[in-house]
Structure formats: C-alpha cells, structure tokens
Amino acid sequence: MDEPADSLASASFFTGARDVAAGISRREAIARTLKAGAGLSVLSQVGGLLRGATEPPPSPSAPGPVTVTLNINGDAHTLAIEPRVTLLDALREHLGMYGTKKGCDHGQCGACTVLVNGERVNSCLTLAVMHPGDDITTIEGLADGDALHPVQAAFIKHDAFQCGYCTPGQICSAVALIKEGHAKTDAEIREQMAGNICRCGAYQHIVAAVREAMQPTG
Amino acid sequence: MNNFSYILAAQPDEALRDWTGPGRPAYLAGGTNLIDHIKLGVDQPQRLIDVRNLGLDQIEALPGGGLRIGATVSNTALAYDERVLKDYPVLSQAILSGASPQLRNAATTAGNLLQRTRCSYFRDGFSPCNKRQTGSGCAALGGFNRTHAVLGTSERCIATHPSDMDVAMITLDAVVRLRGVSGERTVPLQDFYVAYGEDPAKENVLKPGELITAVDLPATEWFARSYYFKARDRASYEFALASAAVALDLREGLVRDCRIALGGVATKPWRAHAAENALKGTRPTEQAFRAAANAELSSAVPRAHNGFKIELCRGTLMQALQTTAALA
C-alpha cells in the first residue's frame, strides 16, 4: 500500500487515481490533508455568528435517536438517528453514500435530488424518519452492475458535466423527468429541469443528453 | 436544526390530540417550507406531527359539481389533474409556474396555502422583524426592498406573499375546510388571509392546532376561461415580481363577470375587487383593462426600491386580461 497523500504538493492528491488504486479514496486523501489545517475552525465560528443569536428553548421531551429502516437502491438500512436528520444527511453522513450532493441545503439548487417511489425530491428538505417503507433511489442505484443507466451513458456521450457536482442530481432528475413524460421539446426539457442548477453552465449538453435519453430505444 | 420529536399521526383526531402537550408543535406535510425555516432558525418547533397519513390526499368530484382537493394532495398531482386542467386551467398554470418539479412533488395543498414570505429580513433570523418577533420593527422599510409589497402594507410590515397557487385559488372562489377540537368549519379563502395591519405575525385565521383538511372549488363553468401570467427576473424557478390570475365570463362581447387576483405585489394573495368592479359590464378592450388595473393599483404604496412593481403589475394584469379574453 502506497503512502497516503499528506501534502498538497503530492501529485496523487490531484489525480486521485493513484490514491484509489492504493486503497485511499480522494475523500480520505483530502481529509488527511486538511486535518492539520486551522481554517476549518475559523469557518465554523463565522457560521455561528451568521446563524443568529436565538437559542432554541429547552425541549421538555428532547428526543434522542429513533430507529428507522430505509430502503435504498433495493437494500434495507436500519439507522438510529435523531428526527432532525434530513434524508440527505442520512445518506451522506450516516450511510457513507456520498453520490448525492449537498449544494445549498435549502431546496434551491437540486444537487440533492433523489427519487422517492420514483418521484424526484430534494433530499435536503425531507427528513429520513419520514420515509420508512418508501423506495429510495440514489445516483448509486441507477447502474445495473457495470451497465450504466441510459441517462448516465447519455451524460457521458454528450459531455454533460464539467466539475460533476450537480451531476448526480441532474441525472436523478432527468430519470424522473423521462418517466413523468411531460417534456417533448427542448424548451420543455429546460423547464422541467429548471430545479437543477449548474454553476459550470453545462446546460446545453445536459439538454442534449436528456433529449437523447428520452428517445425510445431499438 | 434544533432538535425535535416526530410523530406520524394515523387519524385527524389523533393529530389534533397530538397538538396538545409539552413543547411547541407544528404540523408537517411536505416539509418544503417548514424544514427550510427550521434550518434558518426562523421556526423552532419542538414536536413535528406528520399529517401525510390522514387520508387527505385525494381530489374528489363534489356531488353538485366542483372539486374537493385534499390537504395533502401534492402540488404536482393537483397541477396535472385532468379536471383541473380542463375546468380551472389558471390553477394548473399557477402551480406549474412556481418552484421546481422536485419541490412540487413534495409540497402539498395546505402547505402551499400556509407558505410564508421570502423577505430576506424575515428569513435571516436576526434582523428587526415584526413578523418574527412582534414589536421589533421592520428592517425592510429602510432596507433593500426591491421584492417587497406595494399593496396591503403597513408601517409594520411590507413582506410579499410569494405564492402562485394561492393567487389562482383565490380567483376561483376557493373555500378552505378546517377541523379543530371544537369541530369543523369552512372559510372562504379570501377571508382566510389576514391583512398585516397590527400584528404581522398573524397571517391567517387558523386557530391553534386547527388542521386544513381540504379546499373546495365551485362548479363555475366560466372558470374554464382562466389564465395565469407571471413576471419575474428569471424564466423559471423564481418567485413573481408581479403576477395575475384572471377568469372572465365573456358572453356576447361583454365581460359579464370576472375574477382577478394579484401575486408578487401584496402582503397576502390579493383579490382585486376594484379591478373586477371596473371591468364588469365593459367590452374587453385595452382601455377597459388599463382602467381596471389603474383602479386596483391606485392605492399601491411604493417603497425605495420596488416602485417599478406598480407599472409592472399594471402591464402584467393587462397582459393576463388580454390573453384570457382571446382564449377560444
């Protein structure tokens, strides 16, 4: 096993590929690099100031963790989590499923889009405890083994992502859009994808990818 | 978010019973407004009562005509219902012009009625805000108020009511059905919202713990000639700067009756009674539309940054009237 990347100057930090081959994910490499940094604690203090002065009143029946079983991509996951954990945070922080991204955390960007019973929703604005018994599909659940979902394949073919951060949400949203069947023209695709924003501006290629993925196959 | 407990209610009466008890409760449906507010610290309920399982998620045809729309019907389901598309097109158009598909899938009828202002001073959780903290003042009055209201304002609050669906529903003579511990009652939607006046924190006539169970729409045939027009900075996924919901009873070249409501410009979904009265009995000409708009907007009060809304609203309403009159 190679040495872990513990320096920004290390080439493997940027390519990520060597780290993955060495058994360290890019996430782990970055975490180790930043662990020594003091920047994070400053950010959290500033965030506290911005959040406002009011403290929530003490709750007479302060709840602890509750048990909830979530069906995600066909697998059952039982968690003991507080009711305030969003579905997004349950996926990322409690289940290690990092495919779904946190963009704005307020339902304004669509990066957190997942499918609940086939319908697209912002996972940042729904609680994990609201979904026992629901069929949840995340970006990780679209491919069939090594066979990409047609929407994933179309996104690659049409170069429909740059940084890739909005992409899982775009793809999940597009999968649902196709099933909904309301969009026929490019203008309608744009309107129906309006809940997913892309700072890199890959919109034209996203529309092309969705247009192709909508075509009946064969 | 502050820590809270979560209960899934099985029956409406159980939800009403759950409301009482230690710690401040809130009803939870789609959560697209409530969870946003809890994250912002604007609302800090201690007990969330989930009302999605109370059997209030159907759209039923009423025996005498009209529709009963369950409180937890999703905005998406309501917008694409065949009966709504045919008989109340303004409602479908309004819903589909708002938010995003993801939000519309989770958001509910009742939740949409109860959505709160997007005023940035209300949402920041610390600025003087009479809506958030009675008596603390209004930061928007002397602040950046480009998106704030020009109708229904007071020196206590100028926050805009942001909804599209509610503006369309108020055009359609909607009636809200409520259920509380003292029984059931109905309130016409135009009486449901309270003008900000004395206490901007009070936005509607709900009693504590009262549940919205449904919204009824009447069997008014000419509501099929209705339309929603929304003006905003972006082409989609953006609140209205000004919007107009219009229904016209047009027969033999005369406006026999009409319903007009404005969005994006007022402190509550705004039934434009002055505009309606000016338009009734006239021919649907541009002059008549302008006179109707002028009648309604004569009481508009501009602030430092939102004066443009008065002219924008005039044009938006005229455009909506023109399009509605031209419908086949």
- Which two three-digit tokens encode residue B77? 């389901």
Q: Do A35 and A86 fall into the same domain?
A: no
- CA separation for the pair A38, B160 (Å, rounded): 42
Examine residue A49 and state whether it is found in any structural domain, yes or no.
no
- The CATH number covering residue A156 comes to 1.10.150.120
At B303 the three-state DSSP class reads: coil
Angle between helices A150-157 and A167-180 (to 10 degrees): 120
Give the range among A1-10, A120-129, B80-89 with minimum mean pLDDT.
A1-10
Q: Is residue A112 part of a domain?
A: no
The pLDDT tens digits of the residues spanning B223-273 come to 999 999 999 999 999 999 999 999 999 999 999 999 999 999 999 999 999
Q: Using an 8 Å Cβ cutoff, are B150 and B300 in contact?
A: yes
Let me know whether A75 and A29 are in one domain: no
Question: Same domain, yes or no, for A163 and A99?
Answer: no
Q: CB-based contact (8 Å) between A195 and chain B?
A: yes
- Shared-domain flag, residues A166 and A132: no
Question: What is the predicted pLDDT for the residue at B76?
Answer: 98
Cα–Cα distance between A173 and A210 in angstroms, integer?
A: 10
Single out the residue of B37, B143, B166, B184 nearest to residue B91, CA to CA: B166
**What residues of A are in contact with residue B75 (Cβ under 8 Å)?**
none
Percent of chain B with pLDDT over 90: 98
Stretch among A30-34, A100-104, B84-88 having the lowest mean pLDDT: A30-34
- The whole-angstrom separation of Cα B260 and Cα B188 is 16
Q: What is the mean pLDDT of residues B112-119?
A: 98
Domain presence at residue A114: no
Query: Residue A182 is part of which domain span?
Result: 150-214
Classified as helix, coil or strand, B247 is strand
A119: contact with B, CB 8 A cutoff: yes
Q: Is A179 on the interface with B (CB under 8 A)?
A: no
User: Could you tell me if residue A84 is inside a domain?
Assistant: yes
Beta-bridge partner residues of B68: B60, B216
Cβ within 8 Å, pair A84-B105: no
Same domain, A180 and A155: yes
What is d(CA A144, CA B207) in angstroms, rounded to the nearest whole number? 52
* A92 DSSP assignment: I
Domain positions in chain B are 5-52, 221-326
Q: Please name the member of B6, B52, B102 whose beta carbon is closest to the beta carbon of A129.
A: B6
- The domain defined by B5-52 folds into 3.30.43
Percentage of chain A beyond pLDDT 90 is 69
Cα→Cα distances B176→A71, A97, B113, B210, B224, Å: 36, 42, 10, 12, 21
One-letter amino acid of B45: P
The CATH number corresponding to B221-326 among 3.30.70.20, 3.30.70.1170, 3.40.50.720, 3.30.390.50 equals: 3.30.390.50
What pLDDT does B242 receive? 98
Check residue A216 and give its pLDDT. 84
Q: Which of the two residues, B128 and B21, has the higher pLDDT score?
A: B128
pLDDT tens figures, A165-179? 999 999 999 999 999
Q: Is residue A109 part of a domain?
A: no
Q: Does the structure show a pLDDT above 60 at A56?
A: no
Mean pLDDT score of chain A = 83
pLDDT of A99-131, one tens digit each? 999 999 999 999 999 999 999 999 999 999 999
Q: How many helices (H) and strands (E) does chain B have?
A: 13, 12
Can you say how many angstroms the Cα of residue A30 is from the centroid of all Cα atoms in its chain? 18
Q: Using CB atoms, pick whichever of A84, A105, A122 lies closest to residue B3.
A: A84
Residues of B in contact with A79 (CB under 8 A): none
- Give the pLDDT of residue A26: 74
- The values of phi and psi at residue B29, to 5°, are -120, -100
Say how far apart CA B248 and CA B175 lie, in whole Å.
Answer: 20
Q: Which chain A residues are closer than 8 Å to B99 by Cβ?
A: 195
Strand-by-strand arrangement of the A75-81 sheet = A75-81, A66-72, A135-137, A113-116, A119-122
Chain A with chain B: Cβ pairs closer than 8 A: 119
Whether chain B has a CB inside 8 Å of the CB on A16: the answer is no
Indicate yes or no: CB of B5 within 8 angstroms of CB of A127.
no
The secondary structure element, H or E, covering residue B190 is helix B189-192
Give residue B161's pLDDT: 97
Residue A115 included in any domain: no
List Cβ neighbours of A217 (8 Å cut-off, separation of 6 or more): A150
Inspect the interface and report whether the beta carbons of B50 and A130 lie closer than 8 Å: yes
DSSP A57: P
Q: Give the range among A48-52, B213-217, B322-326 with minimum mean pLDDT.
A: A48-52
Non-local (6+) Cβ contacts of B314 within 8 A are B290, B293, B294, B297
Task: Give me the mean pLDDT over the A21-43 stretch.
Answer: 60
**Predicted ipTM?**
0.97
Burial class (CB in 10 A: 0-12, 13-18, 19+), A184: exposed
pLDDT at B21: 87
Instruction: Measure the CA dihedral A187/A191/A194/A200, to 10°.
Output: 0
Cβ within 8 Å of A, B 119-178: 124-126
A116 lies in some domain: no
pLDDT over 50 (residue B295): yes
Q: Does A20 touch chain B if contact means CB atoms closer than 8 Å?
A: no
Q: Is residue A157 part of a domain?
A: yes
Same domain, residue pair A126 and A85: yes
Q: Is the pLDDT at B57 greater than 70, yes or no?
A: yes
SS3 content of chain B, % helix, strand, coil (to 5): 30, 25, 45
Q: What is the total count of domains within chain A?
A: 3
Closest chain A residue by Cα to residue B45: A56
Token reading at A61: 């029946």
Residue B196: per-residue pLDDT: 75
pLDDT at B214 exceeding the cut of 80: yes
Which residues in chain B have Cβ-Cβ distances shorter than 8 Å to A195?
Answer: 99-103, 237
Contact at CB, A127 and B125, closer than 8 angstroms? no
* A69-100 pLDDT, tens digit each: 999 999 999 999 999 999 999 999 999 999 99
Whether A209 has a pLDDT exceeding 50, the answer reads yes
> Are residues A126 and B48, on separate chains, in Cβ contact within 8 Å?
no
* pLDDT above 90 for A23: no
